[in-house]
Amino acid sequence: MKFTRVFLEAIGYELPQHIVTSSWIEEQLAPLYRKLHLQPGQLEALTGIRERRWWGHHHINAVEAAKAAKKALAETDIPVEDIGAVVYGGVCRDNYEPATACHVAAELKVRAETAICDVSNACLGAMNGIIDIANRIELGQIKAGIVVACETARDITQIMIQRMLEEGTMEFFKQALATMTGGSGACGIVLSDGSYGHKGPRLAC
């Protein structure tokens, strides 16, 4: 669909406090590095990533996503009552049923009539959510909507570190390297029909 009246109003984000450096990950992989005769610094050199963030052990994806959404909303003139749809597009979800978006919507205190759903499509979930909201706005079904996502990399990184140590081969090291690039964070993206005081860039696709 060609969008003629969909505007990106604001983006908000939330970052975890816990910083995990590539050098710390390599310390956990020290036995493997010694076995494969790898020099420290390879992870940062190969990925370009010096550090990433992790949430605490008991974080809730929906809560962090809602914080990001509230930050984004605060940058606009859009009242929460006008939010016609909330889409959660993260890979990481708190549960499958009810949708994680339900918890986000409750945190935001949107109207009971607001459309709420999760969209799952790997790294493209948030983008699919943007298109979903944009379609609703272009068709005149809603005036504004929010796309949210929250990702957490702690568990998968720790699991992969253990597997790399157990496998102990260069082949598996190469296969698992991409997992070490993951980080944690949350975002909130507000879209509207442009009828509010502040108007962001228009979606042209």
CATH of the domain at 125: 3.40.47.10
* E strand intervals along 15-114: 18-21, 51-54, 83-88
**One of 51, 64, 97, 205 is an active-site residue; which one?**
97
pTM equals 0.91
Verify whether residue 123 is a known catalytic residue. yes
- A 10 A CB-CB count for 56 gives 11
What's the first-to-final CA gap in the chain, in angstroms? 7
**One of 44, 123, 138, 171 is an active-site residue; which one?**
123
Residue 202 lies in a domain: no
Verify whether residue 151 is a known catalytic residue. no
Residue 95 lies in a domain: yes
Residue 2 lies in a domain: no
Tally of domains in the chain: 1
Residue 200 lies in a domain: no
Residue 89 lies in a domain: yes
Residue 1 lies in a domain: no
pLDDT at residue 204, rounded to an integer:
81
Domain of 137 in residue numbering reads as 7-192
pLDDT at residue 14, rounded to an integer:
98
Q: β-pairing, 83-88 with 185-192?
A: unpaired
Q: What is the mean pLDDT of each run of 10 residues along the chain (205 residues)?
A: 91 97 98 96 95 95 98 96 98 93 98 97 95 97 98 96 97 95 97 86 83
Tell me the DSSP string of 180-193: GG---EEEEEEEE-
Residue 197 lies in a domain: no
pLDDT at residue 197, rounded to an integer:
76
Tell which phi-psi region holds residue 37, choosing left (phi > 0), alpha (psi between -120 and 50) or beta. left
Residue 33 lies in a domain: yes
